[in-house]
Amino acid sequence: MKTLSDEQKQFLLSTIRDVPDFPKKGILFKDITTLLNHKEAFTLLMDHLHERYQEYELDYVAGIESRGFIFGAALASRLGVGFVPVRKRGKLPYTTVSEKYALEYGVDEIEIHIDAFRGTNKKVLLIDDLIATGGTALAAAKLIKKVNEELVEACFILDLTFLNGKEKLLPHTQVYSVLEIV
């Protein structure tokens, strides 16, 4: 199951709820909570990700706040590796390293603990639920490299391809998306 069949992809897509005009008018929000609470869909997804990444010899999975925590922690547990949360500024209690990124209306910042990976040159997979414009994901990729770790790949459950976020990441790492919304 290193690749999903079209039927499996359609099944997973069918479990994701569309919420119009959230968080603001004109946006069609992809709600993955309905995939998470569908035991067959969540199991299929996690089985697929486990099979894909079990041969990567990863040391860590890093998940972007907040939905990346769900997939990242579950996958890290299945792979028998550590999990590192990539958090919004001010949420971590110890010394951190940060990376800023542009928003359409300003700047935001994400961070990790300075000792999150317990060493250097560790093999890291970055994961989140969705890639849209790619700003947060690119900042997370740069942050992992900033602390001298090897970013093996960035993985997303959904890629909103029409927003071209993946293109921002490709100069920095390989990108894998389970599902694409065109």
Give the active site residue among 51, 57, 87, 104: 104
From the candidates 67, 78, 150, 180, which is the catalytic residue?
67
Q: What is the pLDDT of residue 120?
A: 86
Whether residue 40 lies in the annotated active site: no
Q: Has 67 been annotated as catalytic?
A: yes
Q: What is the pLDDT of residues 8-52, one digit of tens each?
A: 999 999 999 999 999 999 999 999 999 999 999 999 999 999 999
Q: Over pLDDT 70: what percentage of the chain?
A: 99
User: Helices (DSSP H) in the chain: which residue ranges?
Assistant: 6-14, 33-36, 39-53, 67-79, 135-146, 165-169
DSSP 164: -
Q: What pLDDT, in 10s, does the model give residues 100-123?
A: 998 777 899 999 999 999 988 999
User: Is pLDDT above 70 for 1?
Assistant: no
Report the CATH number of the 56-181 domain: 3.40.50.2020
